[in-house]
Amino acid sequence: MKLLPYWQDTATPFAGADAGPLGGKVDAVVIGGGFTGLSAALALAKTGASVVLLEAGRVATGASGRNGGHVNNGTAHDFAGLAASLGLDHARRLYHAFDAAVDTVERIVAEEAIDCSFRRCGKIKLAAKPQHFDKLAASFDLLQREADPDTRLIPREGVRAEVGSDIYYGGLVYEKSAQMHMGRFGAGLATAAARAGARIFEDTPVTGLTRLQGRAHRVETPRGTIEAAQVLVATGPSQKGPFGFFRRRIVAVGSFIVATEPLSKDQLHSIMPGRRNATTSRIIGHYYRLSPDDRLIWGGRARFAMSNPTSDAKSGRILEAGLQQAFPQLGKPRLDYCWGGLVDMTADRLPRAGEHEGLLYAMGYSGHGAQMSVHMGQNMAAVMGGRAEANPLRDLPWPVVPGHFGPAWFLPLVGAYFGIKDRFQ
């Protein structure tokens, strides 16, 4: 079993990084080469701005190259719950921003001719307990009437037409959701940004930031210093660099994934005849889909731990047990890949984007960001071009997470708490 992401092992890496010296002045520096940063760099370069993107490692190898491959529409929240906490109008606006995000990914894939198996496959959210189905059903009427007519409630007896398992009590289908090969998309997005004129520096961590005036900053890296009229921070759950403001508001939580060997046509049909994305209703639940080459890509929170090779392997064993429980008809399929990544969680699991002391930012997608990161990159480029209203997240306040200053000491406690909640709710 390879301890690396399937997406990265089966994509040709981006080969257009800038090897030249770093210095001088540019219109925009983008910090972070995940989907947010790459998408922003692409949009900024297309306006004719001079753009430099600084990436600490290799582009699209953070969360953007380590995720589950789902490009789901709508918010991950229960819609009725979101409407109760934010008001119906605001909840609807956020829901539709995620719908628009899937459209943005689809548009960029088409415009830039990125070969990444993008497909509008739909998603099914599966109820792991009878009471979870009741909750889905209670929210469904409001969701369908007010935000998403392309949703469908599936009673328990209808589940097997979608997912070949007896452990679920019904589900909710979201027809607009999509999926793609994340490694090929990431490399294609970086290539498109470079083609449009953005200069992309890999292995170039930002180590210092000094505000000059307004939005202008001096940006320091081991490779040199550069000045920018505007800076966008797109560093996800970054544990490094001068980003204390963001680290106090984002909790980095590990999430883990395994990919099986390629399955036979009969096996595929027996487990996922609908070939949709699937997520389950537990807090520490699962998310899964099939790959373009017929593997089952099975993810879950597994453990509340950071991601590293030992931790990923342990989490892989926990995930394997969950997979076998859902699909006993597969026996014990060989696992070819196991990997983990860090999710940038906010306290309310809603992303944030805006401006803090002259620095622009977009992050905090909380595990539901493959689509929104691409969308927010484009939107923040528009904000940098003077269109503040292009930011759909501009009305969300962002208080600190109390007691949190960096690595989250409280994760095991949170994990234990959610484990108990999953058992009794």
CA dihedral 64, 375, 102, 303 (to 10 degrees): 40
Contacts with ligand FAD in 215-234 (CB under 6 A)? 234
Q: CB of residue 76 vs ligand FAD: minimum separation in angstroms?
A: 8
Residue from 163, 187, 272, 342 touching ligand FAD (CB under 6 A): that is 342
Amino acid letter, 262: P
Measured between alpha carbons, how far is 35 from 4 in angstroms, rounded to an integer? 19
- The conformation of residue 140, written as its DSSP 8-state character, comes to H
Q: What is the residue-wise DSSP string for 205-243?
A: ---EEEEEETTEEEEEETTEEEEEEEEEE--TT--SSS-
Copy the structure tokens of residue 200: 């992309």
- Based on CB atoms, which residue is closest to ligand FAD, 37 or 170? 37
Binding range to ligand FAD, per CB under 6 A, among 258-266, 317-325, 337-345, 404-412: 337-345
Burial 244-282 (b: 16+ CB within 10 A, else e): eebbbbbbbbbbbbbbbebbeeebbebbbebebbbbbbb
Residue from 211, 240, 269, 421 touching ligand FAD (CB under 6 A): that is 240
Residue with tokens 């342990």: 314
Q: Does 241 bind ligand FAD (CB under 6 A)?
A: yes
- Based on CB atoms, which residue is closest to ligand FAD, 56 or 163? 56
Q: Does 55 bind ligand FAD (CB under 6 A)?
A: yes
Measured between alpha carbons, how far is 178 from 159 in angstroms, rounded to an integer? 19
Residue from 11, 29, 36, 162 touching ligand FAD (CB under 6 A): that is 36
Measured between alpha carbons, how far is 224 from 391 in angstroms, rounded to an integer? 31
Residue from 7, 17, 28, 32 touching ligand FAD (CB under 6 A): that is 32
Binding range to ligand FAD, per CB under 6 A, among 86-94, 162-170, 315-323, 361-369: 361-369
Q: Does 162 bind ligand FAD (CB under 6 A)?
A: no
Residue from 33, 322, 354, 392 touching ligand FAD (CB under 6 A): that is 33
Binding residues vs ligand FAD (CB under 6 A) = 31-37, 54-57, 62-64, 66-70, 72, 205-206, 234-236, 238, 240-241, 255, 257, 287, 299, 341-343, 363, 365, 367-371, 373
